[in-house]
Amino acid sequence: MNAPILEFVDVEAAYGPFRALFGISLRIEPGQALAMLGPNGAGKTTVARVASGLVAASSGQVFVNGIDMSDRPTHEFAQAGVAHAPEGRSVFATFTVQENLELSFHRVLGRSGVAAGLDRAYELFPLLGQRARQLAGTLSGGEQRMLSLARVLVEQPKLLIADELSLGLAPIIVDEVYATLAGIRASGTALLIVEQHVHHALHLCDDVALLAHGEISWTGPSEGAADLVVNHLFDSEGTT
C-alpha cells in the first residue's frame, strides 16, 4: 500500500519557551484534501510550517512519503514534493510578475528550466501572463495570491500546503482562489488547507481536523460537519 504523503506522529513544536503544538497526529493520503480549521492562535500555521520543514518538531515524527523527515532541512521537504504557499502575499513588490517567477524558477529548476517554468505558470494562471511586466506590488490581492501559488506549483508538487490564502480578500476573490485550488487538486496534488473560511474549505476538502490550543480536538469527514465546525470555532474563541 502507498504510504501517506504526510504523516504526523505525536508531534510537538515550540518557539523558544512557548509550546505551540501538543501531540499532533494526522495523515494525508496521496490526492486527499484535508482542512485544518481553528481560531486564531490555535496553532494552524505552526502545523503548516512543521509540515514543510520551516519549523522543526521538538518531539514526535514527521513522515513524507513514508520517510522520516523530522530532522531534515526545509529544502529536502521541497525535494520530496512538499510545496508551501504561506499566509500573506509573499511576493517581491518591486519586481515584476515575471521577475518574481524567474527568481523562484531559477532557484528550483536551474537556468535551463526557467522558460519552461514560465510557460507552465502562464498556462496555469493566464491572468499572470497578461500581467507579466507589471510590478507585483500593484497587483490586486487575489492576483498576488495567484502569483504566490504559481511560484510553487510549476513542479506539480505531491502536497500543497495552503496557509490562509484567502486572508483579507473580498468574497469574489476568495471564490477565484478556491477555484484555483480545486483545479490543483484535480491534477492529483494533495492539499493541506489551513483556513478560517469554513464553508469554502469544507466544500473543497474530504476531511477536516479541528485545532484548539495546539491540540486536535476532532477529525472526521467534511460532509455534514459545518455546524460542528462553526460551534467549535465559536466555543474556542469564546474561551480565549
List alpha helices for the chain, DSSP H: 44-51, 74-79, 97-109, 114-124, 126-130, 141-153, 171-186, 198-204, 226-238
Structural domain contains residue 11 = yes
In a domain, 13, yes or no: yes
CA angle 159, 144, 128 (to 5 degrees): 90
Cα-Cα-Cα-Cα dihedral sign, residues 102, 108, 113, 119: negative
C-alpha cell, 29: 493520503
In a domain, 30, yes or no: yes
φ/ψ of 137, rounded to 5, equals -70, -15
Beta-carbon contacts of residue 6 (< 8 Å; ≥ 6 apart): 26, 27, 28, 51, 62, 63, 64, 82, 159, 190, 192
Give a yes or no: residue 216 inside a domain. Answer: yes
Cell of residue 57, nine digits:
518538531
Ordered per-residue pLDDT tens for the chain, 240 residues: 578 999 999 999 999 999 999 999 999 999 999 999 988 889 999 999 999 999 999 999 999 999 999 989 998 998 899 998 876 557 888 999 999 999 888 877 788 889 988 998 888 888 899 999 999 999 887 788 888 888 877 777 899 999 887 777 778 878 878 888 898 899 899 999 998 778 888 999 999 999 999 999 999 999 878 777 777 665 655 433
CATH of the domain at 83: 3.40.50.300
Domain assignment of residue 167, yes or no: yes
What residues make up the domain containing 80?
6-89+157-238
- How many folded domains does the chain comprise? 1
Residue 15 within any structural domain of the chain: yes
pTM: 0.84
Paired sense of beta strands 207-212 and 59-64, if any:
unpaired
